[in-house]
Structure 1
Amino acid sequence: MTVGQAFDRVFGPDAPVRIEAWDGSTGGSPGGLVMRLVNERALTYLMTAPGSLGLARAYLMGDLVVEGIDEADPYEALRVLNDGLTPHLPAPRDLAELAAFAARLPLRVSDVPPEETPSPLRRTIQGLRHGRARDAAAISHHYDVSNAFYERVLGPSMTYTCACYPSEDTTLEQAQAHKYDLVARKLGLEPGMRLLDVGSGWGGMVRHAVKHYGVTALGVTLSREQAAWAQAAIEADGIADRAEVRHGDYRDVTERGFDAVSSIGLTEHIGVKNYPTYFRFLRDRLRDEGRLLNHCITRPDNEHAGLRQRGFINRYVFPDGELTGSGDIVRAMENEGFEVRHQENLREHYARTCAAWNANLAKRWDECVELAGRGTARVWGLYLAGSRLAFERNEIQLHQVLASRTSSAGASGFPLRPQFEPTP
């Protein structure tokens, strides 16, 4: 049996992919997306790690070549694979031949791309999952690529979280500013208030709240690169007397009595089992009637918490990242004494945001490759395009959940009918 024959028996000869293998065989549709398996190792990657991880390994190592693929934005190629490359149960007479074919392959991967992190089990050398040392290592892997690289991909806002598009023609920068304004309105920020922003990134929320709402704000991030960039931006804005982005773990914040807490894109990193401790900590930082806005990626259900430990995202993008449904988040917040007042799903907005980041990556491709290396740049192309597709297909979502530390007398601090969106 040839590689092409094996492909046809598993995926069918009408699959929208044209396989061209090193053994000279072909499979799939003649007019489909052309994928060339350069050598036997390519097939070994695909068979030892079926799905996104195997494809990524073969692609990043150069063993799998996709004809006409846009390295910076492989959305169209991923869409074809997602829509049409579905395995079906081979006929009984084919099973024995397929088994014999697989048995001839050296099903052991000796090399993986240098951009891949070790397995979760091997990462235990850095400490227990979601312990301080291992969290710091995971954050550094993703966020300390280089500030210059992120400037090219994210754009002037340096905001690496879901934007909010008020209209079809809104630009990425306008949508990021609108997102920060939406968070500020939900938190009810007013001059003189104190804001704590955990997982503050490059300080976008801190700077927006201080400049536009007159608050005093403290941000904290585990990324040293982010903190340095944010503090320089704060100095340049002339707001250092009211704004700070601190390099450190949010668990080391000792200040209390904040009027508001924003957590934008941090919950994905702390671990589902740690939600109670996390939300208890944030509640303890608030005054009575103070508000929390939690903004994070979620699953469309509450039955499949966590991330596949062998998946592409876990190995290449967010080591130790975990997701669950918005219901689990609401339950954890309520169990820790928060009163949930409002929530909304912005998943379509995140699909648009990922598309905009992909466009930035494509526009500045040569610079991004020079700054981070071709392998890392290709990982980002796959990651952003795949995330866009997942948000579009409702495989993942983005929820903002707004809550209050309601007083013992039952005061929430909310008016009867709060208005979060600006009046047209």
Structure 2
Amino acid sequence: MSILSPFLSRVIHKGRLTVTGPDGAVEIYGTPTPGFPEVAIRFTSRKGMRRIILDPRLGAAEAFMDGEMLIEQGDIMELVALLRMNTPWDRGAKLKDKGPVGEAVDWVKTRIDSINRRSRSRSNVAHHYDIGNELYRIFLDADMQYSCAYWPRDDMTLDEAQEAKKVHIAAKLALAPGQRVLDIGCGWGGMAITLAKLADVEVLGITLSHEQLALAQERAAAAGVADRVRFELIDYRDLAAREAGRFDRIVSVGMFEHVGARNFDIFFRACANLMTADGVMLLHTIGRFGKPGSTDAFTRKYIFPGGYIPALSETLAASEKSRLIVTDVETLRLHYAKTLRHWYANTLAHKDEIVGLKDERFYRMWTFYLAGATAAFESGGMGNYQIQFARSRHALPLTRDYMAAAEAGYTRVAT
């Protein structure tokens, strides 16, 4: 019996996992089941197996990244999916890879790690986003939307679904010509440029990434909207001190996950202060189903240092302190899973380019990240929330009909 046997025999029941140890010994877990992957892995050293025992998620990632765990049937997406599918969140199951003490330690580490002061926020953003725009061009859509797409139809391309996401969000902002819009965490500028084109508004996009800023400015000029779309390298907290009450609308897509649990109150207070009295905000964020939790060690170390996925209860509780009115909430349950599978397929299709830009270890790390994220949205406890806020109860129409009408109109313009 290998050192992994107690863990794997407890977890794998459906589907099949074949494990070959460094000594050639073979162990098989689970039973072939329709819809569940069949995966075979081989360990080249006992060190790789020990890593998983010490910390299953981080250990598996590093063993895979360092070539100590090889996948001989299936791929990393199927391996991670097999584990998650056997422990689905919405059926009350849990991947019990840590005891109560380990979970408490993760909770504390997450809270400490997410004390994101300004300098820490800048370095955390640089860790993930200043690694070269070319990598993101390779696996994202043409507009470089690095967040959950929106799939009103299953047969849409990634480009179409990301365009639909921007239109969906624009409709919820209740835009009018001449309004001043703030895009917090503007990425490479696609949302800001789209809003300016769709609704003839002025947009300021802010980021902490030098790479994103430079490309966003280039793209605004190329799109012919540089007179109405500006981008700036600034922290939202500093902007709130400078531009109080200036913006009619605020949009933030995929940025709230980087704020850090300790800063939720500060974020919403800044947003409330930045808005006009009749201001409206749309927050698009990954969210945790159920109660608050912690960020796993792999994500903290390699992907999003300082990041934390909030439960809906945490997000709303923080917004209430700034007297923001929650005017609409939509839960996107499987949209990000579909998005991630497209990103993963693009990453596999461009392996040689990514390895050339980075190296083999980075490529394996990136595929592990995308595979783990996909499993979290398909079987784990993650989804996406679009939350609309207003400062005044009179700021929006009494019913939601305006959203569908605007979305239909914007869709015609965008296509």
Q: TM-score, normalised by structure 2?
A: 0.85
Q: Give the aligned partner of residue 412 of structure 1.
A: 395
Checking the alignment, whether the CA contact within 8 Å between 2:284 and 2:385 is kept in structure 1 is yes
Partner of 1:67: helix, strand, or coil? strand
Mapping of residues 242-281 of structure 1, within 5 Å: 242-253=228-239, 254-255=242-243, 256-281=245-270
1:64 aligns with 2:63: no
The structure-2 alpha-carbon separation of the partners of 1:18 and 1:290, relative to structure 1 and needing over 3 Å to count, comes to same
1:20 aligns with 2:30: no
Q: In the alignment, residue 403 of structure 2 is paired with which amino acid?
A: F
Structure 1: any 5+ residue segments left out of the alignment? 90-119
Q: Give the aligned partner of residue 112 of structure 1.
A: none
Give the whole-Å Cα distance in 2 for the aligned partners of 1:11 and 1:285. 51
1:292 to 281, 289, 303: 281
Q: In the alignment, residue 220 of structure 2 is paired with which amino acid?
A: I
Give the whole-Å Cα distance in 1 for the aligned partners of 2:323 and 2:94. 47
Mapping of residues 10-409 of structure 1, within 5 Å: 10-12=7-9, 16-29=16-29, 33-49=39-55, 51-70=56-75, 74-84=76-86, 129-253=115-239, 254-255=242-243, 256-301=245-290, 303-308=291-296, 311-406=297-392
Give the whole-Å Cα distance in 1 for the aligned partners of 2:380 and 2:196. 35
Give the whole-Å Cα distance in 2 for the aligned partners of 1:11 and 1:386. 17
Q: In the alignment, residue 244 of structure 1 is paired with which amino acid?
A: R
Partner of 2:73: helix, strand, or coil? coil
Give the whole-Å Cα distance in 1 for the aligned partners of 2:73 and 2:270. 50
Give the whole-Å Cα distance in 2 for the aligned partners of 1:29 and 1:340. 47
Q: In the alignment, residue 269 of structure 1 is paired with which amino acid?
A: H
Q: In the alignment, residue 230 of structure 1 is paired with which amino acid?
A: A
Partner of 1:419: helix, strand, or coil? helix
Which structure has more RCO (C-alpha within 8 Å, separation ≥ 6)?
2
Give the whole-Å Cα distance in 1 for the aligned partners of 2:308 and 2:26. 39
What do residues 256-280 of structure 1 show as CA deviations (whole Å, max 9, x unaligned)?
Answer: 3211000111111111221111111
Please state how far the C-alpha of 1:322 moved relative to its aligned partner: 0.9
Q: In the alignment, residue 419 of structure 1 is paired with which amino acid?
A: Y
Give the whole-Å Cα distance in 2 for the aligned partners of 1:332 and 1:87. 28
Partner of 1:399: helix, strand, or coil? strand
Checking the alignment, whether the CA contact within 8 Å between 2:41 and 2:73 is kept in structure 1 is no
Give the whole-Å Cα distance in 2 for the aligned partners of 1:11 and 1:416. 51
Give the whole-Å Cα distance in 1 for the aligned partners of 2:94 and 2:395. 53
Please state how far the C-alpha of 1:335 moved relative to its aligned partner: 2.2
Matched residues, number: 379
Please state how far the C-alpha of 1:12 moved relative to its aligned partner: 3.7
Checking the alignment, whether the CA contact within 8 Å between 1:21 and 1:36 is kept in structure 2 is yes
Give the whole-Å Cα distance in 1 for the aligned partners of 2:274 and 2:6. 59
Give the whole-Å Cα distance in 2 for the aligned partners of 1:58 and 1:249. 37
What do residues 191-226 of structure 1 show as CA deviations (whole Å, max 9, x unaligned)?
Answer: 111100001111111100111110000000111101
Checking the alignment, whether the CA contact within 8 Å between 1:227 and 1:246 is kept in structure 2 is yes
Partner of 2:84: helix, strand, or coil? helix
Q: In the alignment, residue 307 of structure 1 is paired with which amino acid?
A: T
Q: In the alignment, residue 177 of structure 1 is paired with which amino acid?
A: E
Partner of 1:80: helix, strand, or coil? helix
Partner of 2:402: helix, strand, or coil? coil
Please state how far the C-alpha of 1:83 moved relative to its aligned partner: 3.5
Task: Tell me how large the CA RMSD over aligned residues is.
Answer: 2.7
Please state how far the C-alpha of 1:10 moved relative to its aligned partner: 4.8
Q: Give the aligned partner of residue 117 of structure 1.
A: none
Q: Percent identity?
A: 31
What do residues 284-331 of structure 1 show as CA deviations (whole Å, max 9, x unaligned)?
Answer: 111111101111111101x324423xx222221111111221122122
Give the whole-Å Cα distance in 2 for the aligned partners of 1:378 and 1:88. 23
Give the whole-Å Cα distance in 1 for the aligned partners of 2:86 and 2:114. 40
What do residues 30-56 of structure 1 show as CA deviations (whole Å, max 9, x unaligned)?
Answer: 98522211112112211221x211101
Please state how far the C-alpha of 1:418 moved relative to its aligned partner: 3.7
Structure 2: any 5+ residue segments left out of the alignment? 33-37, 88-92, 97-107, 410-415
What do residues 339-377 of structure 1 show as CA deviations (whole Å, max 9, x unaligned)?
Answer: 111000113111111111112112222112211222222
